[in-house]
Chain A
Amino acid sequence: KQEVTQIPAALSVPEGENLVLNCSFTDSAIYNLQWFRQDPGKGLTSLLLIQSSQREQTSGRLNASLDKSSGRSTLYIAASQPGDSATYLCAVRRGFDNQGGKLIFGQGTELSVKP
């Protein structure tokens, strides 16, 4: 059974710092991995999607990497800003199928960036 773990559960950093959020999964047979951001009381916003054949994806100050063999993904945030404060979740899709391809979510890392 696939399990997704995100450590730490909470992280507080000063503005301007570069930081890394971690995501680990137990079954390396994944179709893709997706990183989301969630602001309090809101839905999830898709940040980056990495297909199983890819090693990394970049969007602006965000870079996500994927190492299937070790069951790990990292989300790198450069030059953090107070507006980056949110909960960040990763989710893995457990192999392609045409019946929905359900995602397995981690519990999230709550990030606080202090001015």
Chain B
Amino acid sequence: DVKVTQSSRYLVKRTGEKVFLECVQDMDHENMFWYRQDPGLGLRLIYFSYDVKMKEKGDIPEGYSVSREKKERFSLILESASTNQTSMYLCASSLALTGELFFGEGSRLTVL
């Protein structure tokens, strides 16, 4: 089975802190994604990566950056956390050919 692992299920941070969310997949998938999910707004794509060291902006990249130094790992970085970044963050991966998306368990971030 495909496994996508997010490093933290729950985080509480203060405004202005730098936040790292880590995601690792074990199925050699080319593509990796970061989404955020908010009530009433659904899932929104922040960034995605289709190869090591490659990244593409999604629909809401402002305030975020990403890093993909190894194929299996995709990190989301909040350079200076703000309260409006309180959300559920979901990492996902897929094989480029089939496009079937597999998600991690999510990271619930609260920014105070």
Contacts and interface: CB of A to CB of B under 8 A. Distances in A.
A76 interface: no
Interface in A56-115: 89, 91, 93, 96, 98-103, 105-108
A105 B103 CA distance: 14
Contacts of B84: none
Contacts of A41: 88, 106, 108
B96 interface: yes
B42 A96 contact: no
Nearest to B104: A43
Contacts of A51: 98
Interface string B35-74: 0000000110100111000001010000000000000000
A98 B100 contact: no
B22 interface: no
B101 A46 contact: yes
B31 to A, nearest CB: 5
B41 to A, nearest CB: 9
A91 to B, nearest CB: 7
Given A99-B56, A101-B94, A102-B45, A42 B105 contact: yes
Contacts of A107: 42
Contact of B99 (A32, A43, A106): A32
B85 to A, nearest CB: 18
A108 B56 contact: no
A108 B94 CA distance: 21
Interface of B: 4, 6, 31, 33, 42-43, 45, 48-50, 56, 58, 88, 90, 92, 94, 96, 98-106, 108
8 contacts: A32-B98, A32-B99, A43-B105, A46-B102, A49-B98, A51-B98, A102-B45, A107-B42
